[in-house]
Amino acid sequence: MSSFPATRALRATVSRGLRFASTASSATLKAGRREVSVPTGIFINNEFRTSIGDNKFGVVSPATGQEVLQIEEGREEDVNEAVSAARAAFKSQWAKSDPVWRGALLNRLAELMERDREDIIALEMLDTGKTYKQASTGDFPGAVGTLKYYAGWADKVVGLTSFNIPKTFAYTRREPIGVCGQIIPWNFPLLMFIWKIAPALATGNTVVIKSAEATPLGALKCCELIKEAGFPPGVINLVSGFGNTVGNAITNHMDVDKVAFTGSTATGRRILQASASSNLKKVTLELGGKGPNIIFPDVDMDKTVDWAAWGINMNAGQTCHAGTRIYVHDDVYDAFVDAFAKRMSSLKVGDNFDSSVDQGPQNNKLQYDKILQYIESGKQEGATVKTGGKKVEGTDGGYFIEPTVFTNVKPDMKIMREEIFGPVVCVSRFSSESEVIALANDTSYGLAAAVHTKDYERAVRVTNALQSGTTWVNMYNFVHWSIPFGGYKESGFGRECGEAALENYTEVKAVYFNMGMEAPK
Ligand code: ADP
């Protein structure tokens, strides 16, 4: 844990950096049918460098379990150097720069990403196991859309003016917070990279970002484009590496002003503790979920089955807002379960570069093993496997799991209470609106939920009663960059996307002017 004073940290890192860091190279990877080049270094001050300790780590393809390349692994010294670069960039020009220019740079980055669209998508598929459909219609347009959206906001962030107080007038300024330490997960690496940089940069902050150790490639590729787009050195810095080293160094750093984190609830707790025991940096957390998906009898059953399947299958179930607890009214329970199980078992699982495949591999071995353990626990606790329930046979080394539907799941079973983060879903029945609201809210999480009904009064009543940051009516798993996203309860706090995210990245300064007020005597 680094609890040293900021000045000492800065001096130490600069001298260490000069001694050890040198220019790092790039690699060319085969991603499906494409050959894609990707830088491998730590990105600081618009340069890709070797890590100060000369450490490297392997990137593994989830489709084969084989290492595809080695990249530079940052540690605390690299984080110190990145923070120092971000601080210098913040002070020298970025924080006070013309917001129109910041918006133009974000738009330029979006244009460059569109130019390199197919390379970026292929790299993301290789790194994550996503299908082309997922990466090209979800992650990629989400990332580019977010950049353009916040480019538009850059020159529209303003304060208030008040003449309502006698003999004074007051106004507020929205000022950037400073150096933002951003930590992202492996399920949407490209999208989360952009979610974490776009609002921060639009509002004049600088960034030190850590990608997830399982999926570092998309962020590296974007940094190449960040340099090409013309962002000044030090505005965005990327340190690839592990949570207990790089992540820990960011969250404990005395010169990082804010941390935005997406990941597990357990790590979220550690990040809050790190803030509390260092400089009380501001923290926003987007954590786990266990989304309820409620189905009343008055629905179009085919469409509801489509949305329920998408609710769990999107991104192979590796989504914090996945609809993992499906509650179906008694009147349509049997019909739904039959159609839904049929749909889930018809999904083709396999190599994510095969365009006929619906579901690729799970992202990493750790997660793959965890999902299989949850499936075993469901069986042992007495739930019924309606379909799926095991790994896909004959897929040498890759992390493939059958889409799995459990029925007869009791509220206290592990698979009903804990986030599985894979293609595993529990289906239960209910008989009344009040019963299902209680069941849906019986969780420590509160990220996303849905209700399916044609009765609009019921839709409003139920969504109002759900303790959840996002609620859908007659749909599931649709998130747009212009609408706030975040959690109730142990799913975190703070909102990403939309205007709401700008609040996380600005301090509000109040300025009072004396217009004839006498000092009290
Ligand atoms: P998961 O269990 O899904 O991998 P994590 O919360 O462990 O979720 O990981 C999300 C991100 O948080 C990753 O980038 C990971 O490296 C990082 N991380 C893990 N542990 C820590 C930590 N102690 N401090 C800061 N970041 C961490």
Same domain (yes/no): 283, 332: no
**How many C-beta atoms surround the C-beta of residue 512 within 10 A?**
12
Same domain membership, residue 217 and residue 301: no
Give the mean pLDDT of 269-293.
98
The one catalytic residue in 180, 222, 223, 320 is 320
Helix runs in 259-364, H state only: 265-277, 301-313, 333-345
Report the pLDDT value the prediction gives residue 21, as an integer from 0 to 100.
Answer: 57
418 included as an active-site residue: no
pLDDT band at residue 395 under the 50/70/90 scheme? confident
497 lines ligand 1 (CB under 6 A): no
- Give the domain extent around 386: 292-484
Model confidence band, residue 256 (pLDDT cutoffs 50, 70, 90):
very high
pTM attached to this predicted model: 0.95
Residue 490 lies in a domain: no
Same domain, 246 and 102: yes
The fraction of the chain above a pLDDT of 70, given in percent, is 96
Q: Is residue 458 part of a domain?
A: yes
The atom of ligand 1 lying closest to the CA of 270 is 23
User: Is residue 213 in contact with ligand 1, taking CB distance under 6 Å?
Assistant: yes
Q: Residue 380: which CATH number? A: 3.40.309.10
Lowest mean pLDDT among 191-205, 256-270, 387-401, 415-429: 387-401
Burial, 65: exposed, middle or buried (Cβ in 10 Å; 0-12, 13-18, 19+)?
middle
With a cut of 80, say whether residue 422 has pLDDT above it: yes
CATH label of the domain that carries residue 234: 3.40.605.10
CA distance 88 to 320: 35
210 and 259 share a domain? yes
Domain co-membership, 204 together with 340: no
**Alpha-carbon torsion (122, 127, 132, 134), positive or negative:** negative
Q: Is residue 183 part of a domain?
A: yes
| pLDDT exceeds cutoff 50 at 13 | no
Confidence of residue 223 (pLDDT cuts 50, 70, 90): very high
Same domain, yes or no, for 195 and 319? Answer: no
Residue 188 in any domain: the answer is: yes
Atom of ligand 1 nearest to the CA of 187: 3
- pLDDT over 80 (residue 353): yes
For the Cβ of 187 lying below 6 angstroms from any atom of ligand 1, the answer is no
Cα(216)–Cα(134) distance, integer angstroms: 18
Residue 48 resides in a domain: yes
Query: 286, 402, 433, 490: which one is catalytic?
Result: 286
Ligand 1 pocket, residue 219 CB under 6 Å: no
- Give the CA distances from residue 414 to residues 79, 200, 354, 355, 411, in Å, rounded to whole numbers and listed in that order: 38, 38, 34, 35, 9
What phi and psi, each to the nearest 5 degrees, are found at residue 114? -65, -40
C-alpha to C-alpha distances, 1 to 77, 245, 265, 442, nearest whole angstrom:
12, 9, 20, 37
184 CA: nearest ligand 1 atom:
14
- Whole-number pLDDT of residue 346: 97
Residues 424 and 448 in one domain: yes
Q: Are 433 and 413 in the same domain? A: yes
Give the pLDDT of residue 445.
98
Whether 185 lines ligand 1, by a CB cut-off of 6 Å, is yes
Distances in whole angstroms, Cα of residue 470 to Cα of each of 320, 387, 456, 475, 506: 12, 29, 17, 12, 24
Residue 18 has pLDDT above 50, yes or no: no
Give domain status of residue 378, yes or no.
yes
Q: Is the shortest distance between the CB of 398 and ligand 1 below 6 Å?
A: no
123 and 228 in a single domain? The answer is yes
Q: What is the mean pLDDT of residues 157-162?
A: 97
Query: How many folded domains does the chain comprise?
Result: 2
Which residue, judged by its Cα, is nearest atom 16 of ligand 1?
A: 243
Nearest CA, atom 15, ligand 1: 243
Tokens at 156, concatenated = 């529209």
pLDDT at 120: 98
150 and 165 both lie in a single domain: yes
Q: Is 118 annotated in the active site?
A: no
Name the residue among 110, 105, 107 with its Cα closest to residue 141: 110
Q: How far is the CA of 262 from the centre of ligand 1 (A)?
A: 8
Nearest CA to ligand 1 atom 11: 185
How many Å lie between the centroid of ligand 1 and the Cα of residue 37?
Answer: 27
Q: How confident is the model at residue 24 (pLDDT cuts 50, 70, 90)?
A: confident
Whether residue 35 has pLDDT greater than 90: yes
Instruction: For residue 55, count other CB atoms closer than 10 A to its CB.
Output: 16
Same domain for 83 and 147, yes or no, is: yes
Residue 326 near residue 425, CB atoms below 8 Å: yes
Distance from residue 398's CA to the centre of ligand 1 (Å):
23
The answer to the question of residue 63 being in a domain is yes
pLDDT higher than 90, residue 162: yes
Identify the residue whose C-alpha is closest to ligand 1 atom 20: 243
pLDDT digits (tens, 9 = 90+) for 119-130: 999 999 999 999
Q: How far is the CA of 84 from the centre of ligand 1 (A)?
A: 23
CB 168 less than 6 A from any atom of ligand 1:
no
Residues 169 and 114 in one domain: yes
pLDDT digits (tens, 9 = 90+) for 288-347: 999 999 999 999 999 999 999 999 999 999 999 999 999 999 999 999 999 999 999 999
Residues 89-118 have pLDDT tens digits of 999 989 999 999 999 999 999 999 999 999
In a domain, 158, yes or no: yes
Which atom of ligand 1 is closest in space to residue 242's alpha carbon? 16
Q: How many angstroms separate the alpha carbon of residue 185 from the centre of ligand 1?
A: 7
Pocket test for ligand 1, best of 128, 183, 239, 363 (most atoms within 8 A of CB): 183
Residues 449-491: tens digit of each pLDDT:
999 999 999 999 999 999 999 999 999 999 999 999 999 999 9
In this structure, which residue's CA is closest to atom 19 in ligand 1?
243
- Taking only Cα atoms into account, the Rg of the chain, rounded to an integer number of angstroms, comes to 24
Phi, psi of 237 (to 5 degrees): -130, 135
- For ligand 1, is residue 148 a contact (CB within 6 Å)? no
